[in-house]
Amino acid sequence: MNNNIQIVEKPDWVSWEDIHNVLWKAHSENRKNGIFMRYASLTGEEIRQRVEGKGKLFCAITNGKVVGTGAAFEKNVKLWFTKGRKPVCYQCFASVLPEFMGKGIYKKLVLYREQYCREIGLNHMMFDTHERNKHTINILKKNGYKFVDYRFYKDHYNIVMVKWLDGCPYSDFRLWYEYALIKLKIQINRIFKRILKR
């Protein structure tokens, strides 16, 4: 891990447009590979509206420059593992500038958001990303995140991953089963919709 990197809550001298610029640059490689991240295209003002007053945005800073971002806030979700509608600590606006990747910054941002989750009294850390965003998915898997849901958006699928901060209450088989079943249902529905459109 790079010791010159500080993780701090977004300071006042960092504008929301600065945050947008870091996100946009950080996801340039994804765009080259045909992976378009919805949050990276939001304006600074749209990012502010989604975060301010709801949670915290953390910045990875070195030499007065923001090189990474990550937000976390409480979000109500209705998924099989929440047993009804319960809040989770939702992670978003995750980024690290390409020239700073591979230095442990992303992992550090994840750990800071997990600490924030504990501080606000939540147990579940949730993250969703494009299913082809393998780099992020691999980092999260190495840090104890499990596949729990599969979502279809108009042009791609997202994988939802969760980490239980006090230990996962489900077996690996149960997690695999629930995830595989959800994925199968979504894909069958998509096939039937295409058939019906003919």
Q: Write out 109-163 in H/E/C secondary structure.
A: HHHHHHHHHHHCCCCEEEEEEECCCHHHHHHHHHCCCEEEEEEECCCCEEEEEEE
Rounded-to-integer distance, Cα 86 and Cα 123, Å: 10
Give pLDDT tens digits for 134-183.
888 998 999 999 999 998 887 788 999 999 999 999 999 999 999 999 99
> Would you say 6 and 112 are in contact if contact means Cβ atoms under 8 Å apart?
no
Rounded-to-integer distance, Cα 59 and Cα 57, Å: 7
Q: Which residue ranges form the domains of the chain, and what is each CATH number? A: 6-197 (3.40.630.30)
Q: What is the pTM of this model?
A: 0.86
**Distance from the first to the final alpha carbon of the chain:** 54
Mean pLDDT is lowest, of 8-17, 82-91, 107-116, 141-150, for 82-91
Give pLDDT tens digits for 53-94.
889 999 999 999 999 999 999 988 888 888 766 789 999 999
